[in-house]
Structure 1
Amino acid sequence: MSTPGEKAIALAQGLIRCPSVTPKDAGALDVLIEPLKKARFVCDRLTFAEEGTPTIDNLVARMGDGPPHLCFAGHTDVVPPGDDQLWSHPPFAAEITDGVLYGRGAPTRARSPASRAAAMDYAKAKNREIEGTISLLITGDEEGPSINGTKKVLKWMEQNGLKPDHCIVGEPSNATALGEVIKIGRRGSLNGRLKVSGQQGHVAYPHLAANPVKGIIEVLAKLYDTPLDYGSAHFSPSNLEVTSIDVDNPATNVIPASAEAKFNIRFNDRQRPDGLHTLLHEEISQTLAGTELKFTLDFDPPGDVFITEPGALDALLSEAVNEITGKTPTLNTDGGTSDARFIKDYCPVVEFGLTTETIHKADENAKIADLEQLTAIYRRFIERYFEAFAGNPDGR
């Protein structure tokens, strides 16, 4: 009889073999649904659509009833593999070599099999008499616009009396070794566009023109040189990164009329989007004061900062991690964004998964030993969770 870890490995290979590049499902949900139904999980396949966005298939699988309700959240979609020639193992072959599983999305696709195998093993040990509910929330657009996925699934769960009490998101959380880090929040994300306008002219007569390139360089240098803050108790300093500069000027002897830049700010809990809007507008106004240059500054809707205050949830997970790996994970909020930004509006959420070393790279991979340990950690955590929260789902 195969172990939970072995089941997770086989399931991870099945998922990797599905070329489910956002928004395509490519059979990925079926890979999960079949064994879950055999294990008597109730499976709801939810399809959501919105004008101007791709239609997305999602899954909610659950066992048990009532509180406490523990949810494991993940996604089956992946980013494109890029140039196949850069891969020494085909991106969708799920090859295992020297104890390493190769494939696009291996570190992220492995968490659904790990949590599924752990949940099934716990249910089997309890003869499916769970004192509460275990659920899996799986979406197909985490790597995409995130419009028809987790956000709408959570609303459906709430409307159907299935709102979780706590959630674990299985995004890769460790830099180099399993057990290093539990993420208890994420920085906010703000995309902006700056356009500086001047006066077009001949490069031989700069006094008859106003070069916006000089202005935008000075502005961006000032923004880079001015710290937004110095961090907080659980967050690193907010930072601004320029992602694009464009003047759309093919000529070498013409001063352009305008220059544009795109940038992103990852901000901590000392900042708010409207405050950043005001701060940047003031900095740019001061830098360009006394020149003939004008500017416009626009922002996309932000992804806000959030934190799950340290408490029982991360403590139980830390105990399980320590028991399996011997490590005591630190709590941090580094990295990019995830669907936890939606889940935090419904229940406390933390993130714990495999390592980030190869994510989105060619030859993306996950160590078999890590996948087996992750399954064991989830299994032990589930047991500790229901011991701690049975009869007290609102405990923190």
Structure 2
Amino acid sequence: MKSATDPVENLAQLIACPSVTPAEAGALTALESMLAPLGFSVERPVFSEEGTPDVENLYARRSGNGPHLMFAGHTDVVPVGDEAAWKFPPFSAAIHNGQMYGRGAVDMKGGVACFTAAVARHITKHGSLKGSISFLITGDEEGPSINGTGKLLEWAKAKGESWDAAIVGEPTNPDKLGDMIKIGRRGSLSGTITVNGVQGHAAYPHLADNPVRGLVTLLDSLLYPALDKGTKDFQATNLEVTTMDVGNPAVNVIPAKATATFNIRYNDSWTDETLMAEIHNRLDRAAGRRKLRPGRKTPVNYELTWRDRPSHVFLTHDDKLVGTLTKSVEAVIGRRPQLSTSGGTSDARFIKDYCPVVEFGLVGKTMHMVDERVDIADLETLTQIYERFIEDFLA
């Protein structure tokens, strides 16, 4: 077993495992082989739920007297796409011009590799930990996120585990390493509107009721006016219509039904309950409008279905966690990172219910792309930042 202190070697081992979600494909085994020699106890529970694939996860802990720091992340990756379009095979971990190529290089096997190297260096230097460190790693972040981090946290808590802080190694930096620490995330809420009409001939609209007219009216009420103007810590809440369908291939038939799905990324002006109420109110008011339905006295006949498991908005206020990580970045890179709540959701949305959490990892420019890659120099720099953070946080 080679030393786990080298993030480049760690990452090469992880990329070599074709762990396209939800397949483990050896990635957790590779990580266990790095952590076990460092004195970590490792468990790999598998979680199941009807209608979703079984997922293997990893929980590793090395205990000491002091704070308990969690590092969270995932080893599953998105599909490679057109493999022939890659400059190098996507699981070869090829190095070219100072960069390592491979699916998961930045999202987020690179973060896992660097934190593992940082812990290995810390233990090599000190021989022990002043506190406890645990790795909470899932194979379900890029999938449904049902049999992964959420259940792994519940499982660990039931065993008596608790944490003082957590860092998620997602690729948070937009351009250069040290640009950004994520200290919160917007919430995410999705729903589907179904408008029921009366099918008929397009030449005889008075004998039918076109549901598309009603659907356009309802969607307009959701898009205008804006839901809010943003807050001190978050950008404005945004609603996007993501699908529309009538299931009608004929050009001369008024359809019987029209559906649209929307997603809302919302700030701390709202909870999922208050936002749902606002959407219902807007739709109810709009349903009676006649502008696009001349001669119709009845309101638009619609149904609204909410998708399961909304992601809740959160903001981390923990001064020790945020301050220590900020100072660690400054100490290694020489500039202060921006504290941000931008972007989509991550597994931090589950962790926030157990302890304060922030996200910091590599530059994310190539994540999910063909030729996903990471600068070799960034792997070393991120490892140094993590090592400094571990030293100062546990102290």
2:293 — aligned with what? none
**Structure 2 CA distance for aligned equivalents of residues 288 and 88 of structure 1:** 53
Using the aligned pairs only, state the percent identity.
49
Q: Which of the residues 348, 356, 380 maps onto 1:348?
A: 356
What is the Cα deviation at residue 207 of structure 1?
A: 2.5
- Does the aligned pair in 1 maintain the 2:19–2:75 contact within 8 Å? yes
2:246 — aligned with what? 247
1:98 — aligned with what? 97
Moved more, 202-211 or 374-383: 202-211
* DSSP-derived class of the 1:110 partner: helix
| Equivalence map 1:1-396=2 (5 Å) | 7-107=6-106, 108-128=108-128, 130-289=129-288, 290=290, 291=296, 292=298, 293-301=300-308, 302-387=310-395
TM-score by length of 2: 0.93
CA-to-partner distance for each residue in 1:365-392, whole Å, 9 max, x for gaps? Answer: 11111111111100000111122xxxxx
**Structure 2 CA distance for aligned equivalents of residues 151 and 3 of structure 1:** 31
The AA in structure 1 aligned to 2:72 is A
Unaligned stretches of 5+ in structure 1? Answer: 388-396
**Structure 2 CA distance for aligned equivalents of residues 49 and 245 of structure 1:** 32
**Structure 2 CA distance for aligned equivalents of residues 337 and 82 of structure 1:** 23
- Does the aligned pair in 1 maintain the 2:110–2:379 contact within 8 Å? yes
* DSSP-derived class of the 1:219 partner: helix
- Does the aligned pair in 2 maintain the 1:154–1:163 contact within 8 Å? no
CA-to-partner distance for each residue in 1:141-163, whole Å, 9 max, x for gaps? Answer: 11112222212222232233331
CA-to-partner distance for each residue in 1:208-254, whole Å, 9 max, x for gaps? Answer: 22211122123223322321111112111111111100000011100
Moved more, 227-236 or 39-48: 39-48
What is the Cα deviation at residue 8 of structure 1?
A: 0.9
What is the Cα deviation at residue 327 of structure 1?
A: 1.9
**Structure 2 CA distance for aligned equivalents of residues 310 and 66 of structure 1:** 21
- Does the aligned pair in 2 maintain the 1:47–1:58 contact within 8 Å? yes
**Alignment CA distance shift 1:50-1:201 (3 Å):** closer
**Structure 2 CA distance for aligned equivalents of residues 179 and 327 of structure 1:** 7
The AA in structure 2 aligned to 1:371 is L
**Structure 2 CA distance for aligned equivalents of residues 147 and 223 of structure 1:** 29
- Does the aligned pair in 2 maintain the 1:57–1:139 contact within 8 Å? yes
- Does the aligned pair in 2 maintain the 1:67–1:165 contact within 8 Å? no
- Does the aligned pair in 1 maintain the 2:192–2:304 contact within 8 Å? yes
What is the Cα deviation at residue 4 of structure 1?
A: 7.1
**Structure 2 CA distance for aligned equivalents of residues 178 and 231 of structure 1:** 27
**Alignment CA distance shift 1:84-1:349 (3 Å):** same
**Structure 2 CA distance for aligned equivalents of residues 29 and 203 of structure 1:** 58
What is the Cα deviation at residue 66 of structure 1?
A: 4.2
**Structure 2 CA distance for aligned equivalents of residues 265 and 159 of structure 1:** 33
Moved more, 157-166 or 250-259: 157-166
**Structure 2 CA distance for aligned equivalents of residues 4 and 29 of structure 1:** 14
What is the Cα deviation at residue 261 of structure 1?
A: 0.4
1:393 — aligned with what? none
The AA in structure 2 aligned to 1:249 is N
What is the Cα deviation at residue 25 of structure 1?
A: 0.2
**Structure 2 CA distance for aligned equivalents of residues 224 and 362 of structure 1:** 34
* DSSP-derived class of the 1:370 partner: helix
**Structure 2 CA distance for aligned equivalents of residues 321 and 369 of structure 1:** 15
What is the Cα deviation at residue 3 of structure 1?
A: 9.1
**Structure 1 CA distance for aligned equivalents of residues 213 and 86 of structure 2:** 42
TM-score by length of 1: 0.93
The AA in structure 2 aligned to 1:380 is R
- Does the aligned pair in 1 maintain the 2:4–2:10 contact within 8 Å? no
**Structure 1 CA distance for aligned equivalents of residues 195 and 161 of structure 2:** 50
**Structure 2 CA distance for aligned equivalents of residues 18 and 3 of structure 1:** 19
Moved more, 144-153 or 266-275: 144-153
- Does the aligned pair in 1 maintain the 2:66–2:394 contact within 8 Å? no
- Does the aligned pair in 2 maintain the 1:202–1:254 contact within 8 Å? yes
The AA in structure 1 aligned to 2:372 is E
**Structure 1 CA distance for aligned equivalents of residues 158 and 64 of structure 2:** 15
- Does the aligned pair in 2 maintain the 1:78–1:104 contact within 8 Å? yes
- Does the aligned pair in 1 maintain the 2:218–2:286 contact within 8 Å? yes
What is the Cα deviation at residue 286 of structure 1?
A: 2.4
- Does the aligned pair in 2 maintain the 1:4–1:375 contact within 8 Å? no
Paired residues in the alignment total: 384
The AA in structure 1 aligned to 2:379 is L
**Structure 1 CA distance for aligned equivalents of residues 373 and 60 of structure 2:** 26
What is the Cα deviation at residue 166 of structure 1?
A: 0.7
CA-to-partner distance for each residue in 1:329-349, whole Å, 9 max, x for gaps? Answer: 111111111111111111111
* DSSP-derived class of the 1:49 partner: strand
- Does the aligned pair in 2 maintain the 1:184–1:310 contact within 8 Å? no
**Structure 1 CA distance for aligned equivalents of residues 185 and 41 of structure 2:** 31
- Does the aligned pair in 1 maintain the 2:191–2:261 contact within 8 Å? yes
